[in-house]
């Protein structure tokens, strides 16, 4: 393999195996252009972006002595894939290549960090470790962001790039993606959030890439809906049009044409109606707007049902009805849902749906899918096929339809989330399933969006879109699962005369835009090599950079504060997705992540802080949890504080008097101080100032067990044992019931501990380790 010297001469590099050479010319070109600068690489899927990452990683490790490299990917299967590539294609010692996942305890991750050369992890794991101060990344010489089109908004990539550039002595960033976004502003946002100084773009038409592009046939198959499904759709359309007409008559929609109103229009209605409620001149107008709120909620439901019947079929619609009927039965449904399901026309839709389902009516897409799958597997018994669906219910219905098939060996590939009885797949199960797919135990996987990104399955020779997605990024990612090492095929099933067709044209438009945007950026990059581009281009670039300031205010304004590392704040570990925690970390404050039963932030034994956004504040008044949560806060802390982020009076559907009533009750009855902030950054600044003041005098260490120790001795023993990580009050009682004394608990061997009810091997090992650990006063 190649290695570049200071004179850009290639020599063989002992750390990269010869087997890594696959598409040398363009990879070497990109590699040279990415040397010693933050680079975004946009390259078609299947062209070995891992090789580019690997080359740059070895270059940095060789160039900067005793440095480390971090490879980030959004999912564990992708992380595992990168790890295997480095393992197979480099001669780096296996023990220096380590995947750090959430299943490894923080203490063990801390211990492993010292000997790591290349760490592979998800952004969530690294984010939590950096916020907790688990280890330092000052010696990391390269951070690789795979699928970097995610580096927008509040995604963890943005925080990590900022934190890395602040802390590392020799920072370099490499971003990798096949689909950065359909507009220049979107691409510029990624560029800014990752501190990119140079973009390397390759398309299928580039001369150094063209020889390595495998032909992929794309075919759009139009599916005609049967009259029975059209009858159900007709009733739903009529109901939906009636909702739209009411909303238009109340100046909430610009049209009641069901082909012109989009999902985005419907989702905007909530804020608009709330504003109208707040500014209502009389009770009649207010009543009309509350009614509009119900109509808008049902319009969203009906629009979703129409999409299900059009693009997914009878089974999907029946499943949706069943879920909502359970909500009504369990009394968890809101008023608008109950009203919709009691409507006579709607009951007719339900009756028709059940009749068609009992007759075995399926969407014609599934019948066409069977033909495509059977033909492909008969033609090539070693075929591997990926079927993509937008809805998980469709995945389940397809798998169920083919479960008895002797030729099509099918399995679902979905995310981790479990919804009711529908179990998700753990990341370990996902990795196992991908290996079984490669081995041929299954020849067909039916997946949701979790299967779209980055999965390198060389054997996949057919991809089928069961439905159309109006996203250029997702379409490119889906298509990119085939044609990686050989020719492939893509079939897209499109229900004729439905929103499938609308999504088709939307996706085409966005993908065309992406190509135009990439060409503009590419031309601009090439011009910059020979001097400044013309004045108009320069002005456009300035306008672009100014227009994206709003995307990530945390990154644009937060700076490290001198002396902030002397301050310690305990944060609830469920708050790590919040920009507040990220801002506090960027300020340089020492943060401890704990699962707090009360409060979001603790700055001393007497000060606990609950943070609520304006929307959450209003919602918690309606559902009744506000005073329960704040009551507990007041009981645990002598100086309880509520931070109210945003304006609860703006766009609220609660009357002004009710809001004032809640706020005055919190202050006067609960004795809780309220401080209002504009946004997450202001919240972080206020928490910092509070902690600085509170911790300005020497005090005892910050305590996280705020419940008072019990007076009765047996209860006191339970309290002490329950302080061990992994031990709750039930396990503490079981231990003491069996072993009688603290001395026996702490002197017991692991086999004796595992005999006790609810004490497994891991917890037994934790008790054994802690009871023999020598205290180190390192604070």
> Which DSSP string corresponds to 65-117?
TT-EEEEE-SSHHHHHHHHHHHHHHB-S-GGGEEEE-TTS-HHHHHHHHTT-S
Computed on alpha carbons and rounded to an integer, the radius of gyration of the chain in Å comes to 29
Tokens of 560: 């490290």
Tokens of 118: 């290349």
Give the H or E element holding residue 669: none
Number of other CB atoms surrounding residue 512 within 10 Å:
12
- By the 10 Å C-beta count (0-12 exposed, 13-18 middle, 19+ buried), 303 is classed as buried
List own/partner pairs for 472-476 with CB under 8 A and 24 or more apart. 472/179, 472/181, 472/182, 472/507, 472/510, 472/511, 472/513, 472/514, 473/149, 473/179, 473/181, 473/182, 474/449, 475/507, 475/511, 476/45, 476/178, 476/179, 476/511, 476/514
Q: In this predicted structure, what is the pLDDT of residue 545?
A: 39
Tokens of 330: 């369990």
Give the H or E element holding residue 559: none
Residue found under tokens 């026309």: 345
Average pLDDT, the chain: 84
Q: Where are the beta strands (DSSP E) in 668-743?
A: 673-677
Q: Tell me: pLDDT of 711 over 80.
A: no
Give the H or E element holding residue 180: none
Distance CA 194, CA 302 (A): 41
Model confidence pLDDT, tens digit, residues 537-593? 444 444 443 333 334 444 556 777 888 888 999 999 888 878 899 999 999 999 998
Give the H or E element holding residue 195: none
Q: Tell me: pLDDT of 186 over 90.
A: no
Q: Tell me: pLDDT of 157 over 80.
A: yes
Distance CA 69, CA 139 (A): 9
Give the H or E element holding residue 339: helix 335-342
Tokens of 260: 């012109």
Distance CA 489, CA 158 (A): 36
Q: In this predicted structure, what is the pLDDT of residue 547?
A: 38
Q: What are phi and psi of 408, to 5 degrees?
A: -90, 105
Q: In this predicted structure, what is the pLDDT of residue 533?
A: 43
Mean pLDDT of 436-447: 90
Is residue 397 within 8 Å of 357, Cβ to Cβ?
Answer: no
Greater confidence (699 vs 302) lies with: 302
Mean pLDDT of 615-622: 88
Query: 389: which strand partners?
Result: none
Distance CA 160, CA 630 (A): 33
Nearest to 502 by CA among 366, 311, 316: 311
Q: Tell me: pLDDT of 109 over 80.
A: yes
Q: What are phi and psi of 3, to 5 degrees?
A: -150, 140
Distance CA 539, CA 543 (A): 6
The sheet with strand 607-613 has its strands ordered as: 590-594, 568-572, 601-602, 607-613, 639-645, 673-677
Residue found under tokens 């010696």: 139
Q: In this predicted structure, what is the pLDDT of residue 539?
A: 41
Distance CA 396, CA 386 (A): 15
Say which DSSP state 544 is in. Answer: H
Number of other CB atoms surrounding residue 332 within 10 Å:
9
Q: Give CA separation, 181 vs 31, 150, 467, 475, 511, in Å.
A: 23, 10, 21, 12, 9
Model confidence pLDDT, tens digit, residues 372-425? 999 999 999 988 999 998 888 888 889 999 988 989 999 998 887 777 667 888
Distance CA 508, CA 519 (A): 17
- By the 10 Å C-beta count (0-12 exposed, 13-18 middle, 19+ buried), 687 is classed as buried
SS3 600: coil
Strands 488-495 and 568-572: unpaired
Distance CA 586, CA 580 (A): 10
Q: In this predicted structure, what is the pLDDT of residue 769?
A: 87
Nearest to 705 by CA among 596, 568, 593, 608: 596
Q: In this predicted structure, what is the pLDDT of residue 369?
A: 94
Greater confidence (51 vs 568) lies with: 568
Q: Tell me: pLDDT of 118 over 70.
A: yes
Q: In this predicted structure, what is the pLDDT of residue 10?
A: 47
Q: In this predicted structure, what is the pLDDT of residue 362?
A: 84
Q: In this predicted structure, what is the pLDDT of residue 526?
A: 65
Mean pLDDT of 466-485: 74
In the chain, % of residues over pLDDT 90: 41
Distance CA 243, CA 262 (A): 14
SS3 531: coil
Tokens of 194: 């990752």
Strands 384-388 and 460-465: parallel
Which residues touch 744 (CB under 8 Å, ≥6 apart)? none
Nearest to 299 by CA among 331, 270, 326, 324: 270
Q: Tell me: pLDDT of 536 over 50.
A: no
With vertex at residue 283, the alpha carbon angle to CA 278 and CA 287, rounded to the nearest 5 degrees, is 80
Helix ranges restricted to H, 613-721: 614-622, 625-636, 656-668, 680-694, 713-721
Q: In this predicted structure, what is the pLDDT of residue 766?
A: 86
Torsion of CA 529, 534, 540, 542, to 10 degrees: 70
Model confidence pLDDT, tens digit, residues 496-512? 888 888 888 888 888 88
Q: Give CA separation, 146 vs 36, 119, 150, 157, 301, in Å.
A: 18, 13, 9, 10, 36
pTM of the prediction? 0.74
Tokens of 172: 């370099």
pLDDT category of residue 456 using cuts at 50, 70 and 90 = low
Nearest to 68 by CA among 92, 89, 51: 92
Q: Where are the beta strands (DSSP E) in 189-309?
A: 198-201, 216-223
pLDDT category of residue 24 using cuts at 50, 70 and 90 = low
Q: In this predicted structure, what is the pLDDT of residue 673?
A: 96
* Count of CA atoms in the C-beta half-sphere (13 A) of 186: 15
Is residue 561 within 8 Å of 567, Cβ to Cβ?
Answer: no
Tokens of 173: 């960033």
Nearest to 128 by CA among 96, 99, 105, 150: 105
Tokens of 522: 């590419």
pLDDT category of residue 644 using cuts at 50, 70 and 90 = very high
Longest dimension (CA), the chain: 83
Say which DSSP state 419 is in. Answer: B
Distance CA 481, CA 212 (A): 16
């Amino acid at each position: 393999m190649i290695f570049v010297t200071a004179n850009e001469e290639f020599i063989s590099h002992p750390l990269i195996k010869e087997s890594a050479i696959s598409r040398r010319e363009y990879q070497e070109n990109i590699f040279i252009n990415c040397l010693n600068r933050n680079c975004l690489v946009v390259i078609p899927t299947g062209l070995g972006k891992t090789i580019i990452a690997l080359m740059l990683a070895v270059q940095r490790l060789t160039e900067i002595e005793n440095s480390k490299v971090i490879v980030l990917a959004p999912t564990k299967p992708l992380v595992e894939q990168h790890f295997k590539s480095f393992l197979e294609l480099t001669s780096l010692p296996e023990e220096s290549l380590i995947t750090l996942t959430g299943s490894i305890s923080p203490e063990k991750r801390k211990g492993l960090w010292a000997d790591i050369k290349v760490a592979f992890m998800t952004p969530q794991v690294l984010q939590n470790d950096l916020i907790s101060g688990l280890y330092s990344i000052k010696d990391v010489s390269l951070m690789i962001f795979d699928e970097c089109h995610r580096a927008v908004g509040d995604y963890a990539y943005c925080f990590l790039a900022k934190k890395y550039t602040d802390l590392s002595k020799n920072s370099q960033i490499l971003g990798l993606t096949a689909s950065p976004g359909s507009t220049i502003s979107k691409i510029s946002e990624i560029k800014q959030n990752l501190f990119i100084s140079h973009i390397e773009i390759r398309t299928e038409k580039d001369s150094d890439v063209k020889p390595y592009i495998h032909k992929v046939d794309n075919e759009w198959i139009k599916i005609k809906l049967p009259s029975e499904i059209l009858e159900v759709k007709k009733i739903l359309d009529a109901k939906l049009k009636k909702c739209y007409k009411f909303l238009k008559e109340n100046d909430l929609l610009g049209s009641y044409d069901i082909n012109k109103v989009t999902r985005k229009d419907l989702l905007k209605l909530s804020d608009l109606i709330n504003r109208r409620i707040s500014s209502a001149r009389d009770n009649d107008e207010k009543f009309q707007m509350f009614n509009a709120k119900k109509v808008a909620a049902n319009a969203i439901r009906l629009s979703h049902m129409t999409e299900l019947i059009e693009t997914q079929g009878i089974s999907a619609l029946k499943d949706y009805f069943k879920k909502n009927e359970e909500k009504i039965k369990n009394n968890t449904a809101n008023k608008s849902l109950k009203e919709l399901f009691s409507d006579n026309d709607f009951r007719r839709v339900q009756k028709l749906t059940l009749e068609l389902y009992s007759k075995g009516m399926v969407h014609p897409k599934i019948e066409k899918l069977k033909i495509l799958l059977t033909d492909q597997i008969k033609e090539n018994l070693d075929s591997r096929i990926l079927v993509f669906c937008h809805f998980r219910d469709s995945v389940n219905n397809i798998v169920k339809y083919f479960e008895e098939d002797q030729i099509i060996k099918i399995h679902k590939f979905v995310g981790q989330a479990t919804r009711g009885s529908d179990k998700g797949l753990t990341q370990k199960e996902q990795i196992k399933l991908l290996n079984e797919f490669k081995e041929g135990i299954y020849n067909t996987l039916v997946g949701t969006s979790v299967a779209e990104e980055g999965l390198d399955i060389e054997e996949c020779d057919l991809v089928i879109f069961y439905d159309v997605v109006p996203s250029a990024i997702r379409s490119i990612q889906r298509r990119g699962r085939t044609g990686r090492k050989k020719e492939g095929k893509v079939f897209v099933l499109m229900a004729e005369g439905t929103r499938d067709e609308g999504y088709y044209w939307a996706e085409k438009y966005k993908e065309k835009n992406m190509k135009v945007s990439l060409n503009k950026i590419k031309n601009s990059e090439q011009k910059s090599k020979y001097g400044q581009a013309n004045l108009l281009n320069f002005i456009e670039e300035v306008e672009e950079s100014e227009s994206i300031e709003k995307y990530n205010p945390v990154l644009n304004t937060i700076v490290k504060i001198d002396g902030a590392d002397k301050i310690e704040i305990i944060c609830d570990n469920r708050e790590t997705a919040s920009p507040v925690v990220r801002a506090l970390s960027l300020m340089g404050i020492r943060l401890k992540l704990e699962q707090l039963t009360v409060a979001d932030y603790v700055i001393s034994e007497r000060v606990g802080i609950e943070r609520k956004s304006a929307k959450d504040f209003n919602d918690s008044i309606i559902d009744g949890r506000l005073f329960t949560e704040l009551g507990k806060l007041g009981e645990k802390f002598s100086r309880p504080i509520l931070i109210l982020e945003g304006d609860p009076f703006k766009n609220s559907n609660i009357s002004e008097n009710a809001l004032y009533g809640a706020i005055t009750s919190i202050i006067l009855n609960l004795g809780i101080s309220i401080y209002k902030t504009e946004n997450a950054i202001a919240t972080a600044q206020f928490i910092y100032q509070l902690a600085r003041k509170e911790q300005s005098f020497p005090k005892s260490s910050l305590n996280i067990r705020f419940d008072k120790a019990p007076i009765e001795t047996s209860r006191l023993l339970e309290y002490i044992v329950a302080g061990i990580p992994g031990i709750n009050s039930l396990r503490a009682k079981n231990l003491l019931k069996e072993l009688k004394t603290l001395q026996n608990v702490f002197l017991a061997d692991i086999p004796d501990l595992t005999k006790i009810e609810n004490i497994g091997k891991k917890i037994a090992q934790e008790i054994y380790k802690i009871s023999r650990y020598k205290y180190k006063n390192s604070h």
